[in-house]
Amino acid sequence: MPAVRKLLWIAVLAALFLPLLPEPPLHSGPYLQEMSATAVTVAKIDAAPRARGVRVTSEDGGFRHEIQAKEARRRHALRVEGLRPGTRYRYELLDAQGRAGETGEFRTFATSDAAKVRFGVLGDSGGLPWWVWVARMPLFWPVARFDLLPVDAEPGAIGARLAREELDLLVHVGDVIYPHGENRHYRTGWFRPFGATLRRTPCVAVLGNHDLGNREGLDDSHPFLANFVQPRNALTRDERMWSFAHGPVRFVGVDWNRGPIGPDHPALLYLESELARAEEPWVLVFAHYPILSASRQGDRGDLKQHVLPRLRALGVDLLFVGHDHVYQRFGDPGELVQVGTGGGGKSVYEIRGHPEVRVTAPLFHYCVVEVDGPALTLRAITKDGWQLDQLVVDKARLAAEGRLKLDPARARDRRIQALLQR
């Protein structure tokens, strides 16, 4: 009997360390998606199917709109329209009985070129703590299921600092979740460390290689496309690429994953189409892969040959990229500036040098960009809160120095001229 009892104890203890249970279900707090000047999507993922609605009210009480809860489901994307540009609103999630639960606030995008715009950019943030790999073991499942274990330290620190920023928008330049962009890891790698920001700041993202599964020949972008609700583009009819305006700024996101990039690549065709009709005074492009790099990946030849000349010819002000886990900046005011911001929390790479690089730093960081009329200020901020770089692009100064040529026949140049005359 003692031997049998001993074997039973061994079996019980062994069972505690076997992956016997299902993955803890993905769930999130409320998060804002697909913002515009007149609409917003309030999203949420529940651990089990629930009926959800939303109530939106303006600060002055002049607007109140309610979407009633209907069928029970786990994923909710509640679209509220008829809002006013540049206006602050409060939202409340509702249950099946119409009772209010989780709340948040947001401000719609502006339509005026005089509006100030402030947004954040980060990339390669999706580091995971060790315990996600043992979350199916009975010993760890309960604490993993109820979020009692900590997130990875670096994304957690970046997320905590971002939550203290007052941002109109957050842009992610890819690799949201490592190592394979799996749906089961979005809670720990994205919704928890960045949840406080996502509750009140809309976020858009471009696909990184790890968001595709990061396996050779595989495109498993399913989790990314399910967890982000983004504008669909007319060219490829999906959410991999997007374009929208907020006040004086045009934001364009492209997918360079399915390379190599040639003249007929969908990403280049989409980029050219959007940039050709962009009329906003500031035009910014977001992608995952850098064209130039002073770190591990190095320069990418197809992008240098086919994309870089088009970005310059079409008047792009800044290109934001990730992929290399460092901060790096190429270019000066008055020309195309490429900002590499891949230090969002996964790891940091070494610096290898580049003859054209202006600033490099192998540090965890994010960027904050402020646009005020003809001036744009970019600041790169470390996870500890100190500023590692600042760039000011002042179109009034560039015009005074003769480095900004404006054509009154172009709508975009007329809008820039109007800013200069304010």
| Model pLDDT for residues 69-110, shown as the tens digit of each residue | 889 999 999 999 999 999 999 999 999 999 999 999 999 999
Q: Would you say domain 36-107 falls under CATH 3.90.1150.150?
A: no
Chain region(s) in the chain for CATH 3.60.21.10: 117-420
Distance, CA of 136 to CA of 27 (rounded, Å): 16
pLDDT, greater one: 340 or 234: 340
pLDDT at 194: 98
Q: Which of 12-16, 309-313, 317-321 has the lowest mean pLDDT?
A: 12-16
Read off the pLDDT of each residue in 129-139 and give the average, rounded to a whole number. 84
pLDDT at 129 exceeding the cut of 70 = yes
The contacts of residue 340 (CB under 8 Å, 6+ apart) are 290, 293, 295, 321, 322, 323, 324, 326, 327, 328, 329
pLDDT at 13 exceeding the cut of 90 = no
Residue of 105, 50, 54, 49 lying closest to 79 (CA atoms):
54
**Centroid of chain to Cα 202:** 9
pLDDT at 2: 67
Average pLDDT of the chain, as a whole number:
92
Q: C-alpha distances in angstroms, 237 versus 93, 164, 271?
A: 30, 36, 14
| 224 sits in which H/E element | helix 222-227
pLDDT at 290 exceeding the cut of 70 = yes
Read off the pLDDT of each residue in 162-189 and give the average, rounded to a whole number. 96
Read off the pLDDT of each residue in 389-406 and give the average, rounded to a whole number. 94
pLDDT at 322: 98
pLDDT at 17: 53
Read off the pLDDT of each residue in 156-178 and give the average, rounded to a whole number. 97
pLDDT at 23: 87
Q: For the domain bounded by 117-420, which CATH number is listed?
A: 3.60.21.10
| 398 sits in which H/E element | helix 395-400
* 117-122: strand order across its sheet: 203-205, 169-172, 117-122, 365-372, 375-382, 387-394
Q: Please give the sequence-ordered ranges of beta strands (E in DSSP) within 199-289, or none if there are none.
A: 203-205, 242-246, 249-253, 282-286
pLDDT at 11 exceeding the cut of 80 = no
State percent of the chain over pLDDT 70.
94
Distance, CA of 196 to CA of 203 (rounded, Å): 12
pLDDT at 146: 87
Distance, CA of 206 to CA of 256 (rounded, Å): 9
pLDDT, greater one: 103 or 144: 103
pLDDT at 12: 44
pLDDT at 329 exceeding the cut of 90 = yes
Task: Give residue 124's pLDDT band: very low, low, confident or very high (50, 70, 90).
Answer: very high
Read off the pLDDT of each residue in 130-153 and give the average, rounded to a whole number. 85
Distance, CA of 234 to CA of 316 (rounded, Å): 21
Q: How many Cβ atoms sit within 10 Å of the Cβ of residue 195?
A: 17
Read off the pLDDT of each residue in 262-269 and give the average, rounded to a whole number. 93
Task: Give residue 8's pLDDT band: very low, low, confident or very high (50, 70, 90).
Answer: low
pLDDT at 28: 97
pLDDT at 377 exceeding the cut of 70 = yes
pLDDT by residue (tens digit) across 213-222?
866 556 678 9
Distance, CA of 75 to CA of 46 (rounded, Å): 7
Task: Give residue 9's pLDDT band: very low, low, confident or very high (50, 70, 90).
Answer: very low
- Radius of gyration of the chain from its Cα atoms, rounded to whole angstroms: 23
pLDDT at 49: 97
Distance, CA of 44 to CA of 226 (rounded, Å): 11
